[in-house]
Amino acid sequence: MAYRWKNTLSDCDVTPEAAFLNRRQLMAGAAAGIGLAGVGLPAGAQELTANSWDEITGYNNYYEFGTDKADPARYADALTTSPWSIEIDGFVDRPGTYSFDQIMDKMTVEERLYRFRCVEAWSMVVPWNGFELADLLALAGVQADARYIAFETALRPDEMPGVKYPVLDWPYVEGLRLDEAMHPLTIMATGIYGRDIPNQNGAPLRLVVPWKYGFKSIKSVVRITATKDEPPTSWNKANAREYGFYSNVNPEVDHPRWSQATERAIGGGLFSARKPTLMLNGYGDEVASLYAGMDMRKNF
């Protein structure tokens, strides 16, 4: 499935891992065949420069392995990611258990350079490798009665020390409206910087929805269900007042305990200047039409 968006990035916006770690810009990346696909920037927005491998893989949330930002990198090696399969069920023509290899044989993997905005008001820029979720849903054949897509993370108490604690109601679950799931920007990521995605970042495949807060991008997916009804989601079940079903990045709707107007860019230092948060994380030109006529404060 091809998708062409307005692209205002130049070659100098693309920073492969080795070049980034050496603090050098690669000026001819696309010409050399290793450029990363980038989403066009709104007028006046900052240019995108990818975070380093160490920053992306060493600072993240994956509460199944602990609540400290470094816990996933410390403990996620225990997660067995091969073999792996995903059960696809609900309102689909071809329900069943699909192995990771079966899926990958049918998918076209692309490189996508996306902003990543956490609800905790920190951000990164991540060079993902993955395929459009719409292609996986087409493989299963979503039926006309489906209105939402539900997701479920692996639950492995012997491999995930964090699930011993009732931080959330395990297993972790998430959901999207069908049109959000089918949007070309929504991908299932299988890699970072052209390498297999690390366990702490959601191996072997995870959802990435770049205009939503990061917790919507569920990791290590084992089940996908097409459903008529809005599915329950983990953080919304834990505290609906603070975590809505949609959870679109919106600088005009504060979290009850902190502002969402600005964010701290990881890699800029703990005391670096905060930068303004972009509406829909900068992807408004592509996705704002999905929410036409909706009250985005009520439907946060």
Is 201 known to sit in a ligand binding site?
Answer: yes
Is 34 known to sit in a ligand binding site?
Answer: no
Is 172 known to sit in a ligand binding site?
Answer: no
Q: Are strands 275-276 and 122-132 parallel, antiparallel or unpaired?
A: unpaired
CB 34 within 8 A of CB 16: yes
Is 283 known to sit in a ligand binding site?
Answer: no
Is 217 known to sit in a ligand binding site?
Answer: yes
CB 57 within 8 A of CB 198: yes
Is 12 known to sit in a ligand binding site?
Answer: no
The Cα-based distances of 61 to 24, 98, 118 in angstroms read 29, 27, 9
Counted residue by residue, the chain has a size of 300
- Give the CA count within 13 Å in the CB-facing half-sphere of 55: 19
Is 153 known to sit in a ligand binding site?
Answer: yes
Is 63 known to sit in a ligand binding site?
Answer: yes
Count of beta carbons in the 10 Å neighbourhood of residue 299: 11
Long-range contacts of 194-198 (CB under 8 A, 24+ apart): 194/34, 194/111, 194/127, 194/129, 197/129, 198/57, 198/73, 198/76
Helix (H, G, I), strand (E, B) or coil at 55: helix
- Rounded Cα–Cα distance for residues 231 and 246 (Å): 11
Could you list the residues known to form a binding site, using ranges. Answer: 60, 63-64, 118, 153, 201, 206, 217-219
Annotated binding site for Mo-molybdopterin: 60, 63-64, 118, 153, 201, 206, 217-219
